Amino acid sequence: MNRRNLIKLAGISIAAQLSNIKLARSMELYNQKQIIKPTALKEGDTVGIISPATAVTSPEDIEQATSVVKLMNLKPIFPKNFFSKEGYKTRSPKLRADDVNEMFANQDVKAIFCIRGGYGSGGILPFLDYKIIQNNPKIFVGYSDITAMHLAINKIAGLSTLHGAVLLSDFEGNTFDLLKKTLFTNEPLGVIANPTTNSIKNENQTRTIISGSARGQLFGGNLSLIVSLMGTKYEIDTDNKILFLEDVGEEPYRIDRMLTQLKLAGKFDNIAGLVFGKCQDCSQKSVPAIWDYSLAELLDFQLKDINKPVFYGLLIGHTSIQYPLPLNVEANLDADKMNLTIVESFCENS
């Protein structure tokens, strides 16, 4: 090899090394990215009501949603496309994303509430303006199908969001009070545990799967939606997280399939701990039966070897009582006491 080619190869090698160093540094900075917190609400604030998944058109549903907002002494407004008749239940992803971007860009809007979940929020992710979201941080609340937006907004915009009741939720028990405390103060939410009961049969029973305690940033959401985003740039990062999962109406074999996918993808390898929320209507329905494990047996089978504290049954999803869970805030998990303690505030001072 002549000297000129040798020098050329050396130059290429050095450039490649510098490129790798630059990439590694970029990833390091990304991993150290400071999470942005929204500002706490004050009475009289204006908040936006959006429907980024399934459309809501019933006047009674609209009235219920606005009533919940007004009970908090807040002023509700709707984005321009909310009442669009395009597609009725299947408004285009771009149209729904425009509503989200509009509410984040509106300086008068201090929080954004999803009226419901349903189906379709994953489709709007490419159309969200993450720079607008990042530059206009505000409270964003929802759950179920809205999990897709939580993953994207936290990961790309760096904004902490709230996994909590939508405006058409049941708001039973202390759901409303806990939600309001989370939104109006800069105090940590504290202990989250299912209510105790004097009845012989506890409908909200929790169960330790693996004993122990853990501390980490809280993150998670609807299992089906988390799995649906695997292999995309919105894929969940579970390292050192207290991971929470919830779902509804899924047979045990389907949950087994989704947990298997997460396990094969290494998503349980480096978690701090795991909470699996109470799964409503998640029993065997297929005739003849496809799978011979109950949900409880399945969870023991799938999670027994992850060697991290795990418990089941917290009321964090499709349940009448719904506990709000702020994403990317510090929390403690106690699998033996079967509770979470939120030790960091969701909101900054107003």
* Length of the chain counted residue by residue: 350
Are both 155 and 110 inside the same structural domain?
Answer: yes
In a domain, 301, yes or no: yes
Which one is catalytic: 84, 150, 224, 318? 318
Indicate the residue among 140, 169, 198 that finishes a domain: 169
The reported pLDDT for the residue numbered 4 is 55
The reported pLDDT for the residue numbered 5 is 54
Residue carrying structure tokens 């399945």: 298
Q: Answer yes or no: 318 catalytic.
A: yes
The reported pLDDT for the residue numbered 86 is 74
Residue ranges of alpha helices (H) inside 111-222 are 130-135, 147-152, 175-184
Q: In the beta sheet, which residues pair with residue 282? A: none
Q: Answer yes or no: 144 catalytic.
A: yes
- Judged by DSSP in three states, 258 sits in helix
Total structural domains in the chain?
2
The reported pLDDT for the residue numbered 284 is 84
Q: In the beta sheet, which residues pair with residue 257? A: none
Mean pLDDT, to the nearest integer, of 213-221? Answer: 98
In a domain, 60, yes or no: yes
Cβ burial of 228 (10 Å; 0-12, 13-18, 19+) is middle
For residue 293, what are the domain limits?
190-342
Q: Answer yes or no: 163 catalytic.
A: no
Which one is catalytic: 246, 250, 251, 345? 246
- Give the confidence band of 349 by pLDDT, cuts at 50, 70, 90: confident
- Residue 162 and residue 326 in contact, taking contact as beta carbons nearer than 8 Å: yes
The mean-pLDDT minimum among 145-159, 215-229, 280-294 falls in 280-294
- Residue 200 and residue 306 in contact, taking contact as beta carbons nearer than 8 Å: no
- Give the confidence band of 265 by pLDDT, cuts at 50, 70, 90: very high
Which one is catalytic: 121, 144, 160, 345? 144
pTM attached to this predicted model: 0.89
For residues 9 and 310, which has the higher predicted lDDT (pLDDT)? 310
Indicate the residue among 136, 169, 202 that finishes a domain: 169
